Amino acid sequence: MSTVLAGYGLVKKYGPTTALAGVDVEVRERDSLAIMGPSGSGKSTLLHTLAGIIRPNEGQVLLRGERVDNLGENRLSALRRKRFGFVFQFGQLLPELPAEENVALPLMLEGTPRRQAVDRARRWFAPLGLEGLEQRRPGQLSGGQAQRVAIARALVAEPDVVFADEPTGALDQRTSEEVIRLLTSVTRASGAALVMVTHDADVAAHCDRILQVRDGRISNYSQFTVA
Ligand SMILES: Nc1ncnc2c1ncn2[C@@H]1O[C@H](COP(=O)(O)OP(=O)(O)OP(=O)(O)O)[C@@H](O)[C@H]1O
Ligand SMILES: [Mg+2]
């Protein structure tokens, strides 16, 4: 299966701190990869580097074989909007907008007219078990529902890769299980790859592969399923 996203020899330093000490990682088509490891080990730095949010000091990031880590800021942010989707722990929805407009936002930022963007956004509500909640504002949603709206928003522009940093960090175990099941299955069905940071082994077990990070290096790499 072909590689969608790859990082080679990634090094990231913050002053005296080496957050990434030379990481190689490849993410294949429809692959889901969980990044695990102790606090401060470099998980978020790795995710942000692969997502073009942080630039590495050394190494390369390639999207479908093309280098992206050295793009100018404008091209890089356009690439993030078009090719990547993001799900964070919490607080990512705009409180004043109904759920369907929150989902439509990435399309509207790309210039899709509002009505058309909302039409496309609505199609993601059923697969994520959100039917009937299109008009609710984030404050009127449960934590699990809000995360599912955030997943819909990450997928609406049909990205190549979805990045999630502790997407279930603020949820109880049962809700977390439900959200992660939908995140992995709907992302896979959409054709996107998934790169997710989690400290929860039950959550990571829903992914195809688990990458263990320790002191900015990969300490273990396991594969659950053979694609
Ligand atoms: N903007 C920054 N400035 C300075 N140091 C940073 C910055 N971001 C991260 N670091 C440092 O880099 C190292 C790796 O941080 P990172 O956030 O990647 O860890 P993490 O594995 O995501 O931890 P956690 O599980 O707590 O979220 C840590 O020592 C952290 O203090
Ligand atoms: Mg982190």
Residue, of 92 and 120, whose pLDDT is higher: 120
> Mind listing the domains of the chain with CATH numbers?
29-43+73-223 (3.40.50.300)
* CA distances, 199 to each of 33, 110, 135 (Å): 13, 33, 33
**CA 66 to CA 5: how far, in whole Å?**
9
In the prediction, which pLDDT does 222 show?
76
DSSP 8-state secondary structure symbol assigned to residue 134: T
pLDDT one-digit tens code per residue, 136-153: 999 999 999 999 999 999
91, 143 contact by CB (below 8 A):
no
Q: pLDDT above 70 covers what percent of the chain?
A: 97
Q: pLDDT above 90 covers what percent of the chain?
A: 92
Say how many residues make up the chain. 227
Mutate to test the pocket of ligand 1, among 35, 36, 43 (most ligand atoms within 8 A of CB): 43
CA of 40 to the centre of ligand 2 (A): 7
- Examine the pLDDT at 173 and tell me if it is beyond 70: yes
Residue 131 one-letter amino acid: E
- Shortest-distance atom of ligand 1 to CA 41: 21
> Residue with the nearest Cα to atom 12 of ligand 1?
19
Structure token digits, residue 134:
């299109």
Residue 169 one-letter amino acid: G
What are the backbone angles phi and psi of residue 187, rounded to the nearest 5°? -65, -45
- Of the candidates 76, 86, 125, 126, the one whose C-alpha atom is nearest the C-alpha of residue 106 is 86
> Residue with the nearest Cα to atom 27 of ligand 1?
39
Structure token digits, residue 117:
């963007």
> Residue with the nearest Cα to atom 19 of ligand 1?
40
- Shortest-distance atom of ligand 1 to CA 15: 4
**CA 119 to CA 134: how far, in whole Å?**
11
Mutate to test the pocket of ligand 1, among 44, 55, 219 (most ligand atoms within 8 A of CB): 44
- Round the average pLDDT of the chain to a whole number and report it: 94
Average pLDDT over residues 26-43: 96
- Examine the pLDDT at 212 and tell me if it is beyond 90: yes
